[in-house]
Amino acid sequence: MVDVINQTSPGHLANSKPGEKGTGIFAIPDPTSSDFGAATVVLVYDITYDDCVARGEFTLGFKWVPHNATKNVGPCVVAGQPCVRDCGDDAFCICVKGRCVGLLP
């Protein structure tokens, strides 16, 4: 069984309204890589938090960033760095198997 981790910032949830749209950040297995456990990041725009959770069910990890916070979110400058639960609220990256994976600058 895959242990999917919802890495959405509690602060983003506290500051959002029901039905608000945002960006879903999903880590999925990367079939183009020969590295065991390799992942790639996919962004899905204009989805609600609930939709993000439903779509993230079978991913390696996911998080949702509301539109009002995306202006403060940048590329994943910590890609490849060790992580425990997440890679911070301010980047389009997530923690997968102890390493940050995301969109590079």
**pLDDT single digits (tens) 1-58:** 356 689 999 988 998 999 999 999 999 999 999 998 888 899 999 999 999 999 999 9
pTM: 0.86
CA dihedral 98, 49, 75, 91 (to 10 degrees): -60
**What is the pLDDT at residue 3?**
60
Q: Which helix (H) or strand (E) holds 50?
A: helix 49-55
Comparing CA positions, the residue from 67, 79, 66, 71 lying closest to residue 14 is 66
pLDDT digits (tens, 9 = 90+) for 45-99: 999 999 999 999 999 999 999 988 877 788 888 888 999 888 887 778 899 889 8
pLDDT category at 104 given cuts 50, 70, 90 is low
